[in-house]
Structure 1
Amino acid sequence: MKLTEKQKRFADEYIKSGNATQAAIKAGYSKKTATIVASQNLTKLNVKNYIDERMRTIENNRIMTAKEAVEFLTSVVRGDVKETVVIGTPMGAEEVEKEPDVKTRISAAKEILKRYPDNDKVMEQQLRKLTAEADMAEARVKEYIEDSSDYDEIHLVFEERQKKGQDNED
Structure 2
Amino acid sequence: MRAPEMNNCCGFSLKHGTIIIGVVQSIFAFMCLILSSAYAHNSHELIELSDPSIIPRMEVLRVFLIIVGVASALQCVFSIFLIFGAETNRPVLLLPWLGLNPATLAVYIVATLIAIVHHTADDNTPFVVGHVLISTVVTLVVIYNILTVYSFYKHLRKLNF
The two structures share one fold, judged by TM-score above 0.5: no
Q: TM-score, normalised by structure 1?
A: 0.22
Higher strand share: 1
Ranked by relative contact order (alpha carbons within 8 Å, sequence separation 6 or more), the top structure is: 2
Q: TM-score, normalised by structure 2?
A: 0.23
Larger Rg: 1
